[in-house]
Structure formats: structure tokens, C-alpha cells
Structure 1
Amino acid sequence: MKAITDIIQIAQRTLQIESEGISELMSKLNNDFALIVETILKIKGRIIITGVGKSGIIAQKIVATFNSTGTPAIFMHAADAIHGDLGIIQEDDLVICISKSGNTPEIKVLVPLLKLSGNPLVGMVGDRSSYLAKQADYILDTTVQKEACPHNLAPTTSTTAQLVMGDILAVCLLECREFTTADFAKYHPGGSLGKRLYLKVADIYIHNEKPQVDPEASIKRVILEITKNRLGAVTVVDQERIAGIITDGDIRRMMEKFDTYEGLTAKDIMGTSPKQIASDELAATALDVMRANNITQLIVTEGNIYKGIIHLHDLLKEGFL
């Protein structure tokens, strides 16, 4: 059993080797890389990404990243390709073949078939003198000096380099296409990520009650309104104008300040500068405002008209936190 210090040293060594492998990619991003990006941007079809073994797994991740950032892509397993899956490739597609050695039996069988189709072929390869590199129209060089594996056998640094090269391609294509957050939301409608990009305040506050009192309301009326609506606050409205807000905290401070509450009204204890948010703002923006001001609710408005309250708990239910 290794000592704790030994385990940490192994982890640090692994990280150092892999980070050096990534750094080496910097020198490989040349005019050829830019030409590949330009070629992908020009094609009318999709990106077909293929590989086998660990490279095949990396290919699937790159496909997912491409699809989510506006570049249509499909994974084709290199071994299955010669048993019917070559039909995936259409006339206007571009193929990226991923392989560390570029000399595996599957690659040597597949590449000639890919060349017959006439589709542009990009080799993401760790050996520029390999069969794949020599046959490819373009090369994405992912050569690394050594694997993090102490035996220099298990794909570690090499697959990290492949993964990073895929991310580099995806980000370049994303920016060249001027892919926006609105586009991103279109492809990510599910989960908290999607909600951050499209869910509006108006989609949430409408499910809450609309607590309000006038400035002359008694303290009893204020407390009953806060309790009934379970939002921890009530808006003070004077002839349709938002005059202030009273929160649970204001009630506690009132009890500390006054010995008797008889004769007190809403205007005596309300906060006069309540934080507000327009109903058409993103719910994520509401969360940012709450965090910045250390509060748990915001008054929702439409054209300066009071519409309701959005609470931190609403955002919790939607998975924002």
C-alpha cells in the first residue's frame, strides 16, 4: 500500500505530464489548423467522426460538443463502418478519423474506403509518419512525448490531447459561426443549464400570490398578508405606485425597536428602496441580483406596474442552485 505522500506525488506527476502534453499542442496550431476550420465552415454537410477503442470514446465526446455548439456531427465506429455504417457518410460530409498511432488494422481497412467516397478526410493522429497521416487530406497533430501511464502504454496523455484538440476545434467553429447564448439555449433546453439561458422571471412569479398592502395598513394586516402568501414579504402599494416592501426581517427589527405596535402602519416599517426586476428579465439575472444584495425576494414589475414577487425558493425549485 502506497503512503499518502506517494499517492499525492503520483497524482501530481500525472497532472504534470498531461499538462505538458496539452502545452505541446500550442506549437501545432498553425495555418493548416486554420485551413481545417475554414474547410469545415464551408461544407454543407456534417462532420463524421470515427475512431476505435479509447479514440472512439473521445470521438463520441467531440461529437457531443460539436452538436451542442452549432456544428452538426455524427459518430461512426471505425470497426462498424466496414460492416454497413459507411452508409452514414453523405456526399457533402467531412470525416475526422482519430487514432493515436494511425496504423491500427481498423484504420488501414477503413481509410481506403473513405478515400473512395471523395469526402475530405482529416486525420487527428499522434504520428505524422503514420498510414493515416499520409492518407489524410488534413492533419490535426496530437503527438505527445509520453503517456502519463508509468509504462507508457495506457492511453492517457494522448487521449487528453485528442479531447483538447476537439475542444479547440469546437470553440473556433463556435466563434466563427458567431454562436450566441440564444443559440446555445436552443440546443440545451433541459436541466438547469438550459433554464439559465431561457427561463424568464415571468415564467416563475405568475405561480405565486401577489401580496400587497397600502401604506396605512395595520401591522396585524401586514403580518397576516406575509403569512398567508408564504413569500416572506409584502409589497406596499400606494395608488398603483410601489412605495416599499416589508419583509420578515423588517417585522423582527420592528419588534426590537418598538415596545408597542399600536398605531404603527405599513409605511412606518417598510423599506423604501426595494429591489425590483422586470418580468421579461432572465430568472438567472434575478438570482444574480439576490446574491449581490443578500436578499431572498424581488418585486416583479412590468412598465413600473407591480406584478408580484419572485422568491429565492422559486429558483431553488427550478434547479438554479
Structure 2
Amino acid sequence: MVRSLAHWTKTLSFPARISPNKSSKESVLNVHHHPISPTVTPTPSNNSLSQPACIKNNEINNMMNNAPLPAINDVAQIYPDPESEKAIMSSVVYCIHHKEGCKWSDELRKLKIYPDPESEKAIMSSVVYCIHHKEGCKWSDELRKLKAHLNTCKHDAIPCTSHCGAQIPRVLMEDHLKYTCPQRRARCEFCNKEFTGHTLENHIGNCGYEPTYCENKCGMKIQRRHLSQHKAGECSKRLLGCRYCSKEFVADTLAAHHIKCGRVPVACPNRCDTNLLAREELDIHLKDHCTVSVMNCSFKDAGCRFKGPRYSMEKHLEENCQQHLTLMCNVVTKQQHQKTFRGELPTASNTDVQRSH
């Protein structure tokens, strides 16, 4: 919020320098001739603070004709009110050389406030009190620093014009009414509904039309009103239970789990009559239970060369019982010959010797 020079010098008071050779009325600062040094500690004069004065209309003419400026210590209030300021600054003035024939005329506001840079420097270097010194503000410094001080002066506050109850510095009133006043009217940028400032603060963070990132960190930005639906049925990072093993997995990894899950039902590769069975049980099924699985005869080691599906094995054993017995006898005979050859069985002569003893 920008405050004009006229605004922040209202009720402006300057500390008087008391001279031991002059009375307090005589120790008046004439800015045009004797600017106060900023190093001097300001001492307020009772007379200078108790009798505020206003610029009169005839003083404007004096200023335009380069007349000495009125003592700034006596000017406690430059403009008594905004209407007076507007009226004065809108006054039409003539050029100071109009008597010499210059025909120019225009509003006072379009003239320079200071006649020359040196005068401006002298005036702005004057040491002044805060305009709220009567309310207790102890600040005093150069006039050029007054505007910055008023941005933080705790005494430069007025009640909020929207009647929210807050005391706001004048320089911050515009921002307060626009951004922070509980009674301000504001529109939600997401749903375009209008709220008071207080209800808007509660509405923000709960607006169903506000885009927000998914809490599962899937990277999607969803309107808050659709967030629950997204998390339940669309989010790639939602947890899903495997329907076969009942364990939970992140949605985008579930397909990879199904490829390896031991409880996923699969069909027998031999296309037997068995229904679907769990993948982890397939090996046992093929080895011990599949009726179509090709297997060797149980007398393979004895020499039977039969190989066929499991369902035909029982019939083979029944029909070839005699053959299997013959094969087993041959195996026994063969084993006995091997033992004899190795000297493990006693010969006939050895048997006779043992009997004689």
C-alpha cells in the first residue's frame, strides 16, 4: 500500500531546538534557512506540540512566489482532512511570472513540492517525531525515514473498516482487506464459490474441486472429490490381495506375482482328467498321480522293458506276472554267480571238508 507524502506527514511534529538566548517561541525551525542536523537529539517544545496549525490559502500563494516557507515546527498538520487536501491540491494556480505576462495555469498538485533539490534535502533531513508521539511512540529521526517507520509503528493502527475487530496499521489496511480480513469476500479458485475470509480458510484444504496428489505417491493429481474412488480402483500403488494366496501386493506388481504364485491354479500338461490344481502341487501330481503320465514298469531293473501310461500299468502287471517272476529268478541266479566268483559262497570241496570235521 503506497502512502503519499501528504498522508504520512499528517499531524507531523518537529522537535524544537531550545536556544539559551531565545524563548521557546523564537526557537522555531525555519527549514528554508536552518535545517536541523539529524545528529541532534530532538527535544519537543510544549508550544510547538500544543498549538497545531494548518496551511492557509494565502500561504499557497506565498509558496508559489518563493516566499519563505512557514516555520515547519508550527505546521503540526499540513492538511486537516482528506477533503481539504483534495480541495487545496485541486486549486488552480498561475505561474509565478504571470505578472510578467506568462499565461500558464494548472492545478497545484502538478507543481513540484520543493522549489529546488537543496531545499528538498534540507527539509527531508529535518529531525521529526512520529506522528503518533502523543499516543506514546518514542520514535524520532529524519523526515525521510518517517514513511518506513510508519510501516512498523504499532501506534499507526485503526480498526478494520470491515468491522472484523482487528487493529491494522494504515499502510497495511489494503492488504488486510484483500487477503487476511475474516470478513472479506473471497472466491475459491477451484470451485469458484464465494466465501467470507473466515469460512474460506476452513474451505481451503477441503474443497472437492482442488487437485491434490494421491497419498499413495503414485504421481497422479486428482480432484479431492474423486480421490477415494481413485485410491480404491485406479491407483497403481494401492494394496491388493492376491486372490489365490491372500497375500497383499502393490497393484502394479500383482501381475508379476501371479506368474510365480504357487497357489495359481494350472492344468495338467498331460491333459488328464484331474481338475485344475495349484502350481506348487504339479510336480507331485505328475510323479505320483497323473493317470496319463508315461512311466516304466516297476520290474524295469529286473529287465522288463514295458513303458506306458499309469492307467495301463495295473493291467500290465496282471498279464505279465509269470514273466516278472522269471525275470526275478534270473536276477537271483545272476547275483549268486557273482558272489561265487568273488569267493563269497563255499564250494562243494570246502563243504565236504567242513562236514568231516
The answer to whether TM tops 0.5 is no
TM-score, scaled relative to structure 1: 0.23
The structure number with the bigger radius of gyration is: 2
Greater strand content: 1
Structure with the bigger RCO (C-alpha within 8 Å, sep 6+) is: 1
TM-score, scaled relative to structure 2: 0.21
Greater helix content: 1
